[in-house]
Structure 1
Amino acid sequence: MTRIQQGTPEYRRVTLALFLGALAVYASLYVTQPILPLLSDHFGISPAHASLSVSVATMSLALSQVLVGPLADSLGRKPIMTFAMLGAGVIGVAAAFAPTFGPFLALRFLHGLVMAGLPATAMAYLAEEIDVRHLGAAMGLYIAGNSVGGLSGRIIAGTVADFWGWRAAVGSIGVLSLACALWFTRTLPPSRHFRAQPLQPRRLVGSLLHALSDPLLRSLYLIAFLTMGSFVALYNYVSYHLMAPPYGLSAALVGWIFVLYLAGTFSSAWMGRLSDRYGRAPMLALSLAIQLAGAAVSLAGGLLVKIAGIAVFTFGFFGAHSIASGWVGQRAVQDKGAASALYLFTYYLGSSIAGTTAGLCWMRFGWPGVVGFIGCLLTAALGMAALARRQGSR
C-alpha cells in the first residue's frame, strides 16, 4: 500500500494534526511554569511547593511514556493519541476549577499520565505512514509543534494570568487543547500500515535492561537528567526573581521571556551539524560549558545582561540535548525504542526532581542559590561528558 507523500491532501492533514497535537500537549505540560508566583500567592504555599505543579506532570509523563509505547503497539496509534489529546483538554479545563492545591496537584499528575500518549506514539505513526523520502520534513513539523507549543503555552498563560488570574490561564490552555483535540480527531487519517503486536511485558523488561547495560548509554541518561534538571530549575524560578524587586515585572512580561527558547531552536540544529563534523563528545562538552557560562552571566544585576545570560544558557541546553539524544539513537544498535524511552524518562525525571529541589535553594539563598545549584548539576554533567568520551572511544 502506498505511503503518504509530500504535497498530497493526506500529507497536509497528517502534519497539521500532529503539529496541533504537539502544540496542545507541550502547552499543557508547562502551563503553570510562568504563573508559579501567582499559585504561591493564591494558595499560600512556598515556591518549592508551587513548582510541584510542573514536577508532578513531568514525572507522571516520564513514567507513563515508557509503558504507553508498547500499549500503542497493541491497540493502535490513533486511538492512543486521540485519548491523550481529549484527556489533556478535559483535565486541563477541570484543573482551572480545583478548590485547593491538593486536588490541583492530583489533576496535574493525571494530566502527565494522559498526555504521554502523544509523544510516545506520534513518531511511530509518522514512520509507518509517511513515505521515507518525505519523513524528515514531516518529523520536522512535528518537532516544531513541540517547541511552538511549549513557547506559546507559556506566553499565553502568563499574559492571560496578568489580566484574569491563574485559573483563566490554566483554563484557556485547556480549551485550546480541546479545540486542537477535536481537529486532530476529525482530520488525522487512520493508520494503514499499523500491524498490531501482542503485549509482551517480558520482552519490554528485557529491552529496558539491555538498554541499561551499556555504560555509554547510562552516561547519556545521566546527562539528560542533569541538563534538563538545570534547565527547568532556571525557568521555574526566574519568574519569581524577575517579578520581585528591583525588577518588578508583570506575569505577562515574564511570560515573554520564554521567547528565548528560539535560541534553542537554532542551536539544536547547528550544534547537531557541528557534532557530525567535529565529534559528539567535544561538542557535547562545549554545549554544557556554554550552558554553565550562561547561568553565571544570569547573576548580573542589569536586566538586559541577565536576559542575555539566560539566552546563552538556553542555547547551550538545546545544543547539549540535541547531541545527547542523537548519540543515544546512534549508539543503541538494538532496542532503540527502549533506549530512547529511558533517555526521555531520565530527561523528565530530572525536570521533576531538580525543578523542585531548586526551590529550596531559592527560598534559602535567592537567585544566587538557584544558579549555584545549576552550576553543581552542570559540573557533574561535564564530568559525565568526559566519561562518555572515554567510553565512546572504546
Structure 2
Amino acid sequence: MIEANTRDFRAATLALCLGSAMIFANLHVVQSLLPTFAQQFHLTELEASWSLTITILTLGLSLLVYGPLSDALGRKPIMVVTMTGVVLTTLALSQVESYGALLWLRGLQGLFLGGLPAIAIAYMGDEFTRKAVVVAVGVYISANSLGGVTGRMVGGFVGEHFGWAAAFGAMGVLSAVLLVVFVWLLPKSQNFHAKPLHPRHIVQDMHGHLRNPVLLAAYLIAGGNFMIFLNQYSYITFVLAAAPYHLSPHALGLLFLTYLSGTLAAAFSGRITQYFSAPVGMAVGILLLMGGSLLTLIPNLYAIVWGFMVSSLGFFLTHSLASSWVSHHALRARASASSLYLVFYYMGASVGGFVLAPFWAWAGWLGVVVGSLLVYSLTLGCSVWLSVKFTATRDVGNKA
C-alpha cells in the first residue's frame, strides 16, 4: 500500500489531480462562451446553455456504468481510455461548423468525461493507506474546482482573441499533454482484485439507497444546490455581456475565479463538524447560497462578484459535508451510494437551465434569483429535517 508523503504517493496524487483538472476544464470550457454561441448561431440563452447541459447529463448517466465496470476490468485502463476519448472529442469540436454537430460531440464527450471522476477515489482506496486516502482526497477535490476555473478562463481568453473553435483546439492540445503526463505518473495498480459484474446486485443496492430517507435527503440537497449554483453562472454571463457591463468573453472567464472561495471552504469543511453537526453545516452553506444570490441583485459589478464568492463558499461547504454524510451513513455498498450521490448532483445541474428558464423569461436576472431562492428553500428544508433526525437519533443513543 502507498503511504502518504512517499514518492509513489506524490506521483499518483499529482497524476489524479492533473487528470481531474483536465476533465473539469473540458466540461466547463464552454461556459464563458455561451453569449458567443448565442450570437453566432442565433440562439436563445437556454439553447446556448445546452452545450453545457447535454455534457453534464451524459456525464451523470455514465457514472452508473464506470464504477461497476472498473471493479471488473481495472481502474487505470478505463481512466486512460476515457481520457483519450475526451482529447479526441475536444479536438473534433474545434472542427465543427454547426451547433447541432457541436451538441452531438458534447453529448459524446460527456460519456468519456465520467470515467475518471467515477474511478479516481476507488483507485486511491485500492492503492493508498487509509491515512494517505484522507490526504489525497482533499487535494483531489480542490483540483476539481481549479480545473473548472481553468477551463472557463481558457475558453474565455482564447475564444475572445481567436474564436470559439480555437478555444476547443487549445483545450484539446492542453488535454493531450495532461493525458501523457497522467499515464506516465500514475503507478500501475498493485492491489486491485477483479470482481465479477452482478447487475442484479447493483440494482438492489441502488434501490436500497433510494429507500433510505437519510441518504435521499442528501441526494436532493446535492441535486438542488448544483441545479441552481452552476446555472446561475450560465445566466449571469448573458447579464454581464449586455449593457451596462459589456464584459468580453475573457472578462467573463475571470468571473469564475470566484470558485476559489469554494475551494477553501471544501478544505476546511471537516473542521466545521467539530463544532456543529454536518446537517447544521449544510444549512449554513445553503443560507450563504441564498445570501449570495440576493447580493447579486445589487446593480454593481463588484457586488455581483462578491455575491458569487459568497455563493461559492456556501455551495462547496454544503457539497463537501453532504458527500461525506452519504459515505458515513450508507448502510452498505458505500461506493454505489457515493456514485448515486454524484448522479443526483450532475442530473440536477443538467436540468437547472430548464428550471430557471421560465423565471428568466418572466423577469430576467431578478426572476433567476427568485427561482433560485425557491429551490434553495427546499434544500434548506432537507438539511433542517436531517438535523432534527440526527439530533433525535443521537438523543435516543445517549438514553440507551
TM-score > 0.5, shorter chain as reference: yes
| Counterpart Cα distance in 2 of 1:48 and 1:80 | 34
Q: Which residue of 1 aligns with 2:126?
A: 128
1:331-342 aligned within 5 A: 331-342=329-340
- Matched AA of 1:99: E
Q: Which residue of 2 aligns with 1:63?
A: 61
Q: Which residue of 1 aligns with 2:49?
A: 51
Q: Which residue of 1 aligns with 2:355?
A: 357
Q: Which residue of 1 aligns with 2:260?
A: 262
Q: Does 1:161 align with 2:159?
A: yes
1:218-367 aligned within 5 A: 218-367=216-365
| Counterpart Cα distance in 2 of 1:276 and 1:39 | 46
| Counterpart Cα distance in 1 of 2:358 and 2:77 | 41
Q: Where does the alignment leave 5 or more consecutive residues of structure 1 unmatched?
A: none
Deviations 1:47-101 (A, max 9, x none): 1011111111111111110111000000100110001111111101111222211
Deviation at 1:269, TM superposition (A): 3.0
Contact 2:156 2:251 in 1 (8 A): yes
1:176-255 aligned within 5 A: 176-255=174-253
Contact 1:74 1:199 in 2 (8 A): yes
Deviation at 1:386, TM superposition (A): 2.0
From 97, 109, 115, the counterpart of 2:107: 109
Q: Which residue of 1 aligns with 2:149?
A: 151
Deviation at 1:230, TM superposition (A): 0.9
| Counterpart Cα distance in 1 of 2:112 and 2:170 | 19
- Matched AA of 1:14: A
Contact 1:55 1:356 in 2 (8 A): no
Cα 1:220/1:161, change in 2 over 3 Å: same
| Counterpart Cα distance in 1 of 2:71 and 2:84 | 20
Deviation at 1:7, TM superposition (A): 4.1
Contact 1:47 1:363 in 2 (8 A): no
CA RMSD in angstroms comes to 1.4
| Counterpart Cα distance in 1 of 2:140 and 2:132 | 13
| Residue correspondences, number | 392
Q: Where does the alignment leave 5 or more consecutive residues of structure 2 unmatched?
A: 394-400
Contact 2:142 2:266 in 1 (8 A): no
Give the structure-2-normalised TM-score: 0.94
Deviates more, 1:382-391 or 1:101-110: 382-391
Deviation at 1:305, TM superposition (A): 1.4
Contact 1:232 1:355 in 2 (8 A): no
| Counterpart Cα distance in 1 of 2:378 and 2:42 | 34
| Counterpart Cα distance in 2 of 1:89 and 1:227 | 30
Deviation at 1:362, TM superposition (A): 2.6
| Counterpart Cα distance in 2 of 1:209 and 1:358 | 30
Contact 1:217 1:328 in 2 (8 A): yes
Identity of aligned residues (%): 36
Contact 1:215 1:391 in 2 (8 A): no
Contact 1:48 1:357 in 2 (8 A): no
Deviations 1:264-297 (A, max 9, x none): 0112233442133211222211111111011001
Contact 1:361 1:369 in 2 (8 A): yes
| Counterpart Cα distance in 1 of 2:143 and 2:90 | 19
Deviation at 1:389, TM superposition (A): 2.4
From 380, 386, 389, the counterpart of 2:387: 389
| Counterpart Cα distance in 2 of 1:239 and 1:134 | 40
Deviation at 1:260, TM superposition (A): 0.7
Deviation at 1:227, TM superposition (A): 0.3
- Matched AA of 1:369: G
Deviation at 1:360, TM superposition (A): 4.1
Cα 1:259/1:275, change in 2 over 3 Å: same
| Counterpart Cα distance in 2 of 1:142 and 1:215 | 29
| Counterpart Cα distance in 2 of 1:305 and 1:389 | 32
- Matched AA of 1:178: A
Deviations 1:318-368 (A, max 9, x none): 111111111111111312112111111011011000134324433442111
- Matched AA of 1:199: L
| Counterpart Cα distance in 2 of 1:135 and 1:286 | 27
Contact 2:146 2:260 in 1 (8 A): no
| Counterpart Cα distance in 2 of 1:186 and 1:320 | 35
Cα 1:197/1:174, change in 2 over 3 Å: same
Deviations 1:110-139 (A, max 9, x none): 111111110111111111112333222222
Deviations 1:151-180 (A, max 9, x none): 111111111111011111122112211111
Cα 1:142/1:269, change in 2 over 3 Å: closer
Q: Which residue of 1 aligns with 2:77?
A: 79
SS state of the match for residue 277, structure 1?
coil
SS state of the match for residue 179, structure 2?
helix
